[in-house]
Every structure is written in structure tokens, then in C-alpha cells.
């Protein structure tokens, strides 16, 4: 069975020192270590140690073979978004990252599919780079759950989503710049508590802001099974019903009407929650994702799904059909 992992992160092995080049800012740069790993540095501070599977295409293919997975959808690491930078500088950085991924997918057309990053803080430049992403062979973009604390319902982002629909470019929304981060540094809470909330914030913003309503053909996938959105949809719907004066100010339709219009990945680490998600979304809208190569990801690439005794057609939907539909690709291209 074809298995496509649609949520994986990758970096170029070498990054220019953008902070030095631009003369400001905490742009990420890499310090390669003797043991073959690299330290991601944010300004002068250590951010994260990464291994060769973060940049080595062949090593990754080997890793994936162990889990019978043939195709990886790759995108950058959210900390690279750099939406806080001057738009032109973010554009330059984005181009560098996008070109690296375009090069990869041209060299490995059956093993890799690419998503780009664009300077969301500048509508015009974002659309310009979106168009270029399409031209160089990427199939969509990855964006943050908020853009410098602005929500995805903000009117300045609408033309970008509109362009995505027009160009047929898919969107992956990934949590980052987590709410409350400054007050919960301990116990990894920004990742364990903040990220699921960020994704719910993003989905709510796109629903209540009318983005999905106005762009019915926009193809959006939300990381980590939509975070806390689906399991708290009872509360969200009740809020919509009881206080439309607060919630339904830009879109009259109830939130549950949009279930099945967007996709979510399967990264729940919990068969029971995945079953709950499948019941809500339908298997055509739940995609195999892992967050590879990071430890918080499902590094067995959906192995737990094999143990859930799901009908074979449901498994096939998750493993490939849902992703192919999200990205508007044909299965034959990867056989």
C-alpha cells in the first residue's frame, strides 16, 4: 500500500548566517558538530540539536523504508518562518528554503513532495513567492497558526488564501509562536498545551472569519489532528449557538458545517482520539502525518494505525488517498 507522510520537516544542510547578512534579528543558523549533528542557534542562544535526518535525503528515505513509507511531504521548521523580519529579508530567506526543497523534489520526484514558506507579514510579497513556489514545483505552502499574533481571520491574509485557491496550492497550518509561552516555560508546556490551542485558534479563526465559507475550494490541512479543535467542538458549537452576537459576526454558518471541508493529520498518539477524529472528519479528511524527524512526532509513521483494526479502505484513505486529494495529486505519480 502506498504510504505518504504529509507532515515532515526538513532544512538545508547549510544555512547562510542571515543575522549577519541582514544586520539584525534572531534568524536561525546551524553550527555543525563533530558527532554529525548540528545545533540550531537562535541569535546567540541554543534552540535545538538536530541530526542528519533533518537534511540528508537518502538517510530519510532509509528511515522511512523501515516503516513501509515511500513518500514524504517536506516543509521547513516553523521557527524558520521569520514573519517578524523585514518582509524583503523574510522573502530572501523563504526563497532560499524553497529553492532547497524544489531541488530535492526534482531529484527525488517519487519520494518527496514539497511545501514552501512565504512572507505572510507582507501580502504582496507573500503572493509573489506563492506564485514562484508553484512555478518551481512545490504543491503548497506551510503557514503558522498566527502571523505575529494576528489571527488567520485578519483581512490582510485573505488575498493570500484567495491566491492559494486560484493557484491550486494546498496549505498546511502548523502551530508556532505559542500563546502563553512566556508564562509556561517549564515542562515543555508551550509544545504540550500551547500548540494544541494554537491549532484550534487557527481553525476557529478561519471558520468564524468566513475564510472557508468564501473559499470553498481552498485545501487546508491542520497539524496534530487539528490540536484541541475537534475534541472541544462541543464547547465551540455551544458558544456559537448561545452567543452569535460574539461568535457569528462574520459568518452565519455553524462551525460543524465545515467538518470535512478541511483536512487534519493523524498525529494524536492515541488510537481512541484518532477514532473520535475519524468519526467527525471521515477518513477522506484524515491524513498520515508524523512530525518527523522530531521526538514529539510519531516516528513509527502511523504504525499505531495498523493496530486499530480499521477497515482496509479507511487505512488506505489515511495512508495516501486523503493526502493525494489534499494536494490534488495522482497516485500513479508515486508508484
Query: Of residues 105-134, which lie at the interface with a second copy (CB under 8 A)?
Result: none
Least distance in Å: CB of 169 to a second copy?
Answer: 26
Least distance in Å: CB of 36 to a second copy?
Answer: 20
Least distance in Å: CB of 329 to a second copy?
Answer: 28
Radius of gyration, alpha carbons of the chain: 19
Query: Of residues 177-206, which lie at the interface with a second copy (CB under 8 A)?
Result: 179-180, 183-184, 186-189, 191-194, 196-197, 200-201, 204-205
The number of residues that bind a second copy (CB under 8 A) is 54
Helix (H) or strand (E) holding 94: helix 87-107
532560499: which residue's cell? Answer: 96
- Which of 35, 36, 45, 272 contacts a second copy by CB under 8 A? 272
Using CB under 8 A as the binding rule, whether residue 233 contacts a second copy is answered as: yes
- Which of 23, 44, 216, 295 contacts a second copy by CB under 8 A? 295
473559499: which residue's cell? Answer: 215
Residue 127, SS3?
helix
Pick between residue 80 and residue 179 the one whose CB is nearest to a second copy.
179
Look at strands 71-75 and 112-116 and give their pairing.
parallel
- Which of 105, 224, 288, 289 contacts a second copy by CB under 8 A? 224
Helix (H) or strand (E) holding 323: helix 322-327
Phi/psi at 219 (nearest 5 deg)? -105, 105
Those residues whose C-beta lies under 8 Å from the C-beta of residue 207, and which sit 6 or more positions away, are: 251, 255, 258
- Report the half-sphere exposure of 36 (CA within 13 A, side-chain side): 7
Least distance in Å: CB of 79 to a second copy?
Answer: 16
Give the x-and-dash track for 139-168 against a second copy (CB under 8 A). -------x--xxx-x---------------
Q: What does the CA dihedral 227, 233, 238, 239 come to, rounded to 10 degrees?
A: 30
- Which of 14, 32, 106, 243 contacts a second copy by CB under 8 A? 243
Burial class (CB in 10 A: 0-12, 13-18, 19+), 189: middle
Cβ 324 vs Cβ 9: under 8 Å: no
Pick between residue 137 and residue 254 the one whose CB is nearest to a second copy.
254
Least distance in Å: CB of 54 to a second copy?
Answer: 16
Phi/psi at 37 (nearest 5 deg)? -90, 180
Pick between residue 112 and residue 161 the one whose CB is nearest to a second copy.
161
Phi/psi at 115 (nearest 5 deg)? -115, 140
Pick between residue 85 and residue 277 the one whose CB is nearest to a second copy.
277
- Contact residues toward a second copy (CB under 8 A) are 146, 149-151, 153, 179-180, 183-184, 186-189, 191-194, 196-197, 200-201, 204-205, 208-209, 224, 227-228, 231-239, 242-243, 246-247, 249-250, 267-270, 272-273, 276, 279, 295-296, 298
Amino acid at each position: 500500500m502506498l504510504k505518504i507522510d504529509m507532515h515532515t520537516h526538513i532544512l538545508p544542510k547549510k544555512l547562510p548566517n542571515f543575522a549577519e547578512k541582514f544586520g539584525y534579528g534572531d534568524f536561525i543558523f546551524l553550527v555543525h558538530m563533530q558527532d554529525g549533528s548540528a545545533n540550531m542557534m537562535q541569535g546567540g542562544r541554543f534552540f535545538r540539536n538536530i541530526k542528519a535526518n533533518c537534511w540528508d535525503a537518502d538517510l530519510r528515505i532509509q528511515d522511512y523504508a523501515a516503516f513501509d513509507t515511500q513518500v514524504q511531504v517536506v516543509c521547513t521548521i516553523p521557527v524558520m518562518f521569520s514573519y517578524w523580519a523585514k518582509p524583503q529579508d523574510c522573502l530572501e530567506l523563504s526563497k532560499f528554503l524553497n529553492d532547497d526543497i524544489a531541488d530535492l523534489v526534482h531529484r527525488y520526484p517519487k519520494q518527496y513532495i514539497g511545501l514552501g514558506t512565504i512572507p505572510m507579514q507582507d501580502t504582496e510579497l507573500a503572493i509573489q513567492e506563492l506564485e514562484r513556489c508553484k512555478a518551481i514545483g512545490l504543491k503548497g505552502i506551510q503557514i503558522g497558526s498566527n502571523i505575529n499574533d494576528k489571527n488567520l481571520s485578519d483581512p490582510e491574509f485573505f488575498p493570500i488564501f484567495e491566491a492559494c485557491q486560484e493557484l491550486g496550492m494546498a496549505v498546511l497550518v502548523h502551530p508556532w509562536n505559542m500563546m502563553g509561552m512566556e508564562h509556561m516555560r517549564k515542562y515543555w508546556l508551550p509544545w504540550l498545551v500551547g500548540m494544541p490551542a494554537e491549532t484550534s485558534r487557527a481553525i476557529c479563526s478561519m471558520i468564524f472569519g468566513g475564510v472557508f465559507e468564501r473559499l470553498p475550494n481552498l485545501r487546508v490541512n491542520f497539524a496534530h489532528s487539528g490540536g484541541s479543535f475537534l475534541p472541544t467542538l462541543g464547547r465551540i458549537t455551544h458558544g456559537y449557538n448561545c452567543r452569535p452576537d460574539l461568535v457569528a459576526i462574520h459568518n452565519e454558518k455553524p462551525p460543524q458545517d465545515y467538518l470535512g471541508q478541511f483536512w487534519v493529520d493523524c498525529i494524536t498518539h492515541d488510537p481512541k482520539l484518532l477514532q473520535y477524529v475519524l468519526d467527525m472528519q471521515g477518513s477522506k479528511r484524515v491524513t498520515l502525518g508524523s512530525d518527523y524527524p522530531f521526538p514529539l512526532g510519531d516516528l513509527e509513521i502511523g504504525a499505531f494505525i495498523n493496530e486499530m483494526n480499521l477497515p482496509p479502505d479507511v487505512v488506505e484513505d489515511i495512508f495516501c488517498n486523503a493526502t493525494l486529494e489534499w494536494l490534488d495529486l495522482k497516485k500513479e505519480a508515486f508508484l
